[in-house]
A and B are shown apart, each in its own frame.
Chain A
Amino acid sequence: SAVISQKPSRDICQRGTSLTIQCQVDSQVTMMFWYRQQPGQSLTLIATANQGSEATYESGFVIDKFPISRPNLTFSTLTVSNMSPEDSSIYLCSVGRMKTSTDTQYFGPGTRLTVL
């Protein structure tokens, strides 16, 4: 397993501003992912953070709104840009080797974002 930390753990932001969320892992990992969990809902994959190249976004998510960086194998950031109240969610990063059918993903504690 991996130990994952996220900063900030929570934030309250004003409409139109941006917030950058950091995800730090205690060991090098192959794959890093960013998820969104809207209030009372399940998790939805935003994108796969690729080390040294552009992230791979899922349908409904775009780079201009959710730019992602992954400068090395232990760190990634997700920025929520030009925020609106609809962006109020928990944002979680996860990591995993994902090379065999028994490899799983480990999740960070999440960042709870409220947009006013």
Chain B
Amino acid sequence: SQQGEEDPQALSIQEGENATMNCSYKTSINNLQWYRQNSGRGLVHLILIRSNEREKHSGRLRVTLDTSKKSSSLLITASRAADTASYFCVYSGAGSYQLTFGKGTKLSVIP
């Protein structure tokens, strides 16, 4: 399977703390994206980083990409209870539009 791996599988933090989630993948990629899913509902696109980028910011989100290590990280700063959700690392292989989903990290932010 080419599925990505997220680490940790579950993370529990206090409101205001930072949350870091990591992702590893196995193939060459076009880009890597992070999605959020609340309580088994639809997925919300958070951020996309291209294979030639190393870091990207969007609000409280910071994503890094290391193609030599085939890994990415998502940092959520100053977490809020509303950030409680599952976060998926998703990538498309070089030359493909098909998305491959990681197993997800379940984040719980305690008020």
A45 at the interface (CB under 8 A from B): yes
B31 touching A112, Cβ below 8 Å: no
Instruction: Return chain B residues, CB-CB under 8 Å to A98.
Output: 97
Query: Quick one: closest A residue to B43, CB to CB?
Result: A107
A31 at the interface (CB under 8 A from B): yes
Stretch of B14-22, B58-66, B68-76, B100-108 contacting A (4+ beta carbons < 8 Å): B100-108
Instruction: Return chain A residues, CB-CB under 8 Å to B42.
Output: 4, 92, 107-110
Q: Which of B45, B97, B102, B104 contacts A106 (CB 8 A)?
A: B45
* Interface membership of chain A positions 30-41, coded 1 if the CB is closer than 8 angstroms to chain B and 0 otherwise: 010000010001
A92 to B33, CA, bound (A): 18
Contacts A42-B3, A42-B103, A104-B33 given; does A109 touch B98 at CB 8 Å: no
Query: Number of residues in A with C-beta < 8 Å to the partner?
Result: 26
Task: Say how far A108's CB is from chain B's closest CB, in angstroms.
Answer: 6
B77 at the interface (CB under 8 A from A): no
Instruction: Return chain A residues, CB-CB under 8 Å to B45.
Output: 1, 104-107
A103 touching B97, Cβ below 8 Å: yes
A102 touching B101, Cβ below 8 Å: no
B50 at the interface (CB under 8 A from A): yes
Between A and B, 7 residue pairs with Cβ closer than 8 Å are A42-B88, A42-B104, A90-B40, A102-B50, A107-B45, A109-B41, A110-B40
Chain B residues within 8 Å of A, Cβ to Cβ: 3, 30-31, 33, 35, 40-45, 48, 50-51, 88, 97-99, 101-104
For the complex of A and B, 3 pairs with smallest distance between CB atoms: A98-B97, A109-B42, A107-B43
